[in-house]
Structure 1
Amino acid sequence: MAGTSPKAAALEVDARTSFTSGGSECYVNSLDYLLQEKREQALEQEQEKLLLQDCPHLDSLDPDEDEVPLALEHRKLVERFSTSLQGIPAGHPGETVFVPMHHPLPRMLDHSRLKPRSHLEELFLSSPPAQQLSFLRSGLLSGLYLHVGDRPEALLRWLFQLLTWPPETSLGAFGLLWDLSVDGLIRQSDEDTYLWCPSLQEVTAAFHSLGARSPALHPLGPFQHSGSKANLSQCEQQDTPGETALDISLSHICKFLMLCALAQPGAYPDGSLLGLIELICQAGLDVGLRLLPKTDLQQLLLLLLENIQEWPGKLRPLCCALSQVSDHHHNLLALVQLFPDVTSRSRQLRSQLSLVVIARMLDQQETLPLWQEKAQLSSLIQLLGLMRPSSLGQYLRAEILPPGQDQQPKASAQLDHKVCYLCHSLLTLAGVVVSCQDITPDRWGELQLLCMQLDRHISTHIRESPQAMYWTRLKDLATQTYIRWQELLAHCQPQVNCRSWLPWKLARRC
């Protein structure tokens, strides 16, 4: 305390003594304070026991019980301000295409027509399947067949079959298959280009090996390579492919088919191309692959579309086949979205397929001219009138609700949600149809009539409610669609004479 005045030193000493003496009751737990706290807790417990004795019904209440009886006025208040947990899902429900597999899938190399050129190749051909796979993983097969003029098709077919195995095997098989194919293309001349491409039957068998059990994905004929289970080690026996393993195998298959479609455009006839497109689209709807990117699959679909020779004639059977891939409207919407809007053929397919799906969901396939040239907008005008929520409700009520249950509140709410869900998918498909059209001045009137139909039959019939937010989401979609169509009208100048574009009924009004 050197350098301080006597008065300041006295104040500091006085503060220290007050902190250690009188302040100890506030900052330090003493024995008297602990005893007082214990007496207060005992008094509170005694008061609680006396209260339970006076009110015995309080002891029987379970605070964790979910269903507590409510009074009538309370129940009406809860129903008034309750909110439905149902909504319009962002992702499609998917289809069960690939099922678990619990049996080995032996793949033996068919070397009946192969003549060994060295002792090492003879050892490889005569080895059991487990040792043949060890040749693949160790890299010995690259030394045997890479940078060599002759590449046996039986070896390439065997490597393609191994693409359906777990990643530790399929990765090496895909690398060698790719290197052998690209090396063979480099060594060939431009006039004589040949690349081994798996047939539709072999691709179908590969999907079947991955666990596909849909009737459309069954092998078209006997295509089995027998093998002994005893020759395979336990680690070589393929079990259920998980989502990641399944995605890797499908990615390898799609990448190799892309190489075939680019290097050998005429390898598949139009019938096989349609079968491959349907096969790949159905596989892309698998429930386990919904949240995974499908870039390789979409690029392959674009290449297969470009390789179709008789494109205008094959559009109708392709749309009819794809529209039957699933019975759920959201799955069919996801199927349309598998085709990117980047080429003229994909735009044409997206538009026509969307219109066919809408007509199928509304049971109007045979009543509208869906396949006439430049008749898509006129057909969509008639379909918009059937997409009214009240009309969809009548259609779904007879389909999903048993007689006598449509008046129940729970059943009515479920029907209400299904109507909104279906209308949301149909309206999204209608937007795809319009966005893929070339709106010329002579079609300006059809687009304006579409806007009128959208506002008359859908927007004005959507009843928003705080208890059902899915109606609000449908209202937002209808509003966005209407604004988008109005922007298209603004960029397209109509013709001077209104009678040249309006239907004859509206032309009389002009």
Structure 2
Amino acid sequence: MDSFVSPVSEDAHMWCPQLPEIREALHSLGAHSPAWCPQAPAEHSGRVPKREASLSCGEQQDTPQETALDISLSYICKFLTLCALAQPGATTDGNLLDLMELMCRAGLDVGLRLLPKTDLQQLLLQLLENIRQWPGKLQQLCSALSLASDHHHNLLALVQFFPDVTSRSRRLRGQLSLVVIARVLNQQETLPLWQEKAQHLDAGPSPPCQEQQPKASAELDHKVCYLCHSLLTLAGVVVSCQDITPDQWGELRLLCMQLDRHISTHIRESPEAMHRTRLKDLAAQTYIRWQELLSHWQPQAQYFSPWEEI
């Protein structure tokens, strides 16, 4: 800190940990695997730490071990952020990408479920700003991050690690969301948002009680709703991260029609299937936002001018 806030000579050296040292530090705190696959969409964005699942009316508090882990991880993120600020050109773009991938995987690691999200976001934003060959490294970074997990919930969490506060993070959010959507749908990474393969529920009538459905069918219904919830959230990120061109205006209008047809109209709600209600609520909110965008970016009406032929 003394070297950072006060003038130093050109010969002064500020120590910055290397990738193996950072990986070893995270491993010593309990990191082991990012393959954490929740069974249901959370009520709010982000992951639900295991310790929160057993909270009862706020009576349970963090254990000393959890508090110590939280503090240690916060210090690591803050120190790495300080290093990135102090020496923005000391790390190659390749190492910056590797460090961002490592920290994103750490953010998904069940062993580090208390990783402070705000500190991690600040670190990732600074690392993103330090990339010199931007946007040349954008596609490489998106491809690497999209392979950090096999579960769509975790991939959505990766996108949310990058808040929409800078032009770079905004572009990364949109591009990474497209790559994740394409990967989840087993399509090419260049697949446009407007040409996604439809993922919707059966439009047939629902039985009066969820318990009357075969167990396998009920589980499939839950998985489809869960997947649609993640895909729709990602699609909302893509749309919000770009200005609507005249060509995309018509495509977004068509997408709104498909959204209303396949989710808002065809999905039957029931007290035994709250996952359907969550999906329909998200669809309604998304539909309203997209309609507002269509209204704001509506292309000017084309008219015929007889002077154009003179």
User: TM-score interval w.r.t. the shorter chain?
Assistant: 0.7 to 0.9
Using the size of structure 2 for normalisation, the TM-score is: 0.78
State the 1:263 CA deviation. 1.0
State the 1:460 CA deviation. 2.8
Q: Is contact 1:445-1:494 (8 Å) kept? A: no
| Per-residue Cα deviation, 1:350-380 (whole angstroms, up to 9, x for no partner) | 111111111111111x2x624xxxxxxxx11
Amino acid at match of 2:217: S
CA distance in 1, matches of 2:261, 2:273: 22
Of the three residues 187, 190, 195, the one matched with 1:369 is: 190
SS at 2:150's partner residue? coil
CA distance in 1, matches of 2:269, 2:247: 37
Of the three residues 182, 189, 194, the one matched with 2:2 is: 182
Is 1:202 aligned to 2:21, yes or no? Answer: yes
CA distance in 2, matches of 1:212, 1:257: 18
Is 1:339 aligned to 2:152, yes or no? Answer: no
Match of 1:496 in 2: 301
Q: Is contact 1:444-1:489 (8 Å) kept? A: yes
Of the three residues 141, 146, 150, the one matched with 1:323 is: 146
Match of 1:439 in 2: 244
| Per-residue Cα deviation, 1:227-282 (whole angstroms, up to 9, x for no partner) | xxxxxxxxxxxxxx933222221111111111111110011101110111011111
Match of 1:264 in 2: 87
CA distance in 2, matches of 1:471, 1:294: 29
Using the TM superposition, name which of 271-280 and 194-203 deviates more.
194-203
Taking a change above 3 Å as real, the CA distance of residues 291 and 192 of structure 1, as seen in their structure-2 partners, is closer
Listed as ranges, the matches of 1:433-472 within 5 Å are 433-472=238-277
Q: Is contact 2:30-2:112 (8 Å) kept? A: no
Match of 1:386 in 2: 198
Amino acid at match of 1:211: G
Structure 1 residues not aligned, in runs of 5+: 1-180, 217-240, 371-378, 392-406, 499-510
CA distance in 1, matches of 2:279, 2:229: 6
State the 1:183 CA deviation. 3.7
CA distance in 2, matches of 1:252, 1:279: 16
CA distance in 2, matches of 1:316, 1:195: 31
State the 1:184 CA deviation. 6.3
Q: Is contact 1:420-1:471 (8 Å) kept? A: yes
State how many pairs are aligned: 267
Using the size of structure 1 for normalisation, the TM-score is: 0.49
SS at 1:342's partner residue? coil
State the 1:193 CA deviation. 6.5
| Per-residue Cα deviation, 1:412-448 (whole angstroms, up to 9, x for no partner) | 1111111111111111111111111122445322322
Taking a change above 3 Å as real, the CA distance of residues 336 and 442 of structure 1, as seen in their structure-2 partners, is same
Amino acid at match of 1:346: S
Is 1:275 aligned to 2:74, yes or no? Answer: no
Q: Is contact 2:269-2:276 (8 Å) kept? A: yes
| Per-residue Cα deviation, 1:283-314 (whole angstroms, up to 9, x for no partner) | 11133554664111110000000001112121
SS at 1:386's partner residue? coil
Structure 2 residues not aligned, in runs of 5+: 36-63, 204-211, 304-310
SS at 1:326's partner residue? coil
Task: Indicate the structure (1 or 2) with the bigger Cα radius of gyration.
Answer: 1
Taking a change above 3 Å as real, the CA distance of residues 261 and 434 of structure 1, as seen in their structure-2 partners, is same
Is 1:428 aligned to 2:233, yes or no? Answer: yes
Matched-pair identity in %: 75
State the 1:194 CA deviation. 4.3
Q: Is contact 2:200-2:224 (8 Å) kept? A: no
| Per-residue Cα deviation, 1:437-490 (whole angstroms, up to 9, x for no partner) | 122445322322221222233333322223312211211111110000001111
Is 1:487 aligned to 2:308, yes or no? Answer: no
State the 1:387 CA deviation. 1.9
CA distance in 2, matches of 1:433, 1:184: 38
CA distance in 2, matches of 1:442, 1:419: 31
Amino acid at match of 1:386: A
CA distance in 1, matches of 2:11, 2:264: 60
CA distance in 2, matches of 1:453, 1:195: 56
Of the three residues 458, 469, 473, the one matched with 2:278 is: 473
CA distance in 1, matches of 2:90, 2:202: 51
Q: Is contact 1:358-1:429 (8 Å) kept? A: yes
SS at 1:351's partner residue? helix
Match of 2:182 in 1: 359
CA distance in 1, matches of 2:115, 2:78: 16
Listed as ranges, the matches of 1:108-119 within 5 Å are none
CA distance in 1, matches of 2:181, 2:202: 17
Amino acid at match of 1:434: V
